[in-house]
Amino acid sequence: MLPEFQSVRAKTKAEALSAVSTLEHVKIIAGGTDLMVRMRRGELCTHIVDISGLSEIRGIETNGPMIVVGAGATHRDVSMSRIINENVPSLSRACGQVGSPQIRNMGTIGGNLVNASPAADSLAPLLIHDASLILESEGGTREERLEDFIVRPYETSIRDDEMLSFIHIKPLKGYREGYKRVTKRATWSISRLSVAWAIKEEGGCYMDVKIAVGSCTPMPFRAKEVEQFLVGRNIEEGVIREAGKMIVDEIRRITGERPSFVYKLPVLKGILHEVLRG
């Protein structure tokens, strides 16, 4: 059963920001696929601001060298967008695998980020693209790197009077990129392991590598030590095996041993081998 609350349906972004600034114990709802679950589990708030009707923050467009995704865009919007498919294919694939069709039609990419689940599918692709977030309040606008935005599982740096409005994404031209996840079932399931990658190669060498891993640590992370190790090295079995070992060692340093690692880490090594071999 849901706790009692009052609801405000914002008609404009300015109206939403005003409500978030003035109301007490307020939560923002767009798709509700995460918030409703948390509230049923006992999370309390006295006011909800509904931004699901704000077309201002639902578009997906290019702005110079940057791709701008409205936080209100649904997972289906993102997965079906020509701009995302052509420029950020790992994100397109990730959003196309979120939950069920119903969840993809309702859940928003902004909600996925603010919820900050370690298993959120959109996080790893956005990390390899060095995404940044536009956070707005009545007092002004600020931009924060996604890498800094998530401070711990299910917790972000967003302030009580702020709303996530847009995501800025840098395309990676000349890279091969992708996203792969492992679940208990093909659909209707949360990721147990996810990997996003973008790799630029030339003459049998790695010119640049970006790898992000999700669902293995409290927060998805960029494997920057491995990325640096690979740059300039030949694409060969010994190098690939060493890179896989380095990522597994880093995960163990972050979390220690976990029962799930019995199956997760060998699967992760297999995915990394396939990805890095090309």
What tens-digit pLDDT sequence spans the chain (278 residues)? 666 767 889 999 999 999 999 988 888 888 877 766 676 666 667 788 999 999 999 999 999 999 999 999 999 999 999 999 999 999 999 999 998 888 899 899 999 999 998 889 999 999 999 999 999 999 999 999 999 999 999 999 999 999 999 999 999 999 999 999 988 765 556 788 999 999 999 999 999 999 999 999 999 999 999 999 999 999 999 999 999 999 999 999 999 988 888 889 999 999 999 999 98
Structural contact between residues 78 and 105, judged by C-beta atoms closer than 8 angstroms: no
Assess whether 190 and 213 both reside in one domain: yes
SS3 for 194?
strand
Structural domain contains residue 38: yes
Task: Kindly list the distances between the CA atom of residue 196 and the CA atoms of 4, 146, 162, 252, in Å, as whole numbers in the listed order.
Answer: 40, 15, 29, 19
Assess whether 129 and 74 both reside in one domain: yes
Assess whether 73 and 19 both reside in one domain: no
Look up residue 176 and give its DSSP letter: E
Structural domain contains residue 133: yes
> Which string of DSSP letters, residue by residue, matches 209-276?
EEEEEESSSSS-EE-HHHHHHHTT-B--HHHHHHHHHHHHHHHHHHH---TTHHHHHHHHHHHHHHHH
Assess whether 253 and 235 both reside in one domain: yes
Question: CB atoms < 10 A from the CB of 3, how many?
Answer: 11
> Which string of DSSP letters, residue by residue, matches 135-149?
EEETTEEEEEEHHHH
SS3 for 159?
coil
Structural contact between residues 111 and 180, judged by C-beta atoms closer than 8 angstroms: no
Stated as kind and residue range, the H or E segment containing 277 is helix 261-277
Assess whether 75 and 142 both reside in one domain: yes
pTM greater than 0.85 (yes/no): yes
Q: CATH number for the domain including 46?
A: 3.30.43
Structural domain contains residue 1: no
Alpha helix segments (H runs only) across 9-154: 13-22, 35-40, 75-80, 82-87, 89-95, 101-106, 109-115, 123-128, 146-149
Which of 127, 146, 169 finishes a domain? 169
Gap between the Cα atoms of 10 and 183, Å rounded: 36
Structural domain contains residue 190: yes
For 245, the token pair is: 């070992």
Question: Looking at this protein, which amino acid is placed at residue 247?
Answer: I
Structural domain contains residue 212: yes
Write out the residue range of the structural domain in which residue 41 sits: 6-50
Task: Kindly list the distances between the CA atom of residue 207 and the CA atoms of 65, 176, 197, 211, 272, in Å, as whole numbers in the listed order.
Answer: 21, 12, 14, 14, 17
Give residue 37's pLDDT: 64
Q: CATH number for the domain including 78?
A: 3.30.465.10
Give residue 188's pLDDT: 52
For 66, the token pair is: 């940057």
Give the chain's radius of gyration (CA, Å). Answer: 19
Structural domain contains residue 214: yes
Assess whether 227 and 264 both reside in one domain: yes
Number of domains in the chain: 3
Gap between the Cα atoms of 176 and 199, Å rounded: 5
Structural domain contains residue 189: yes
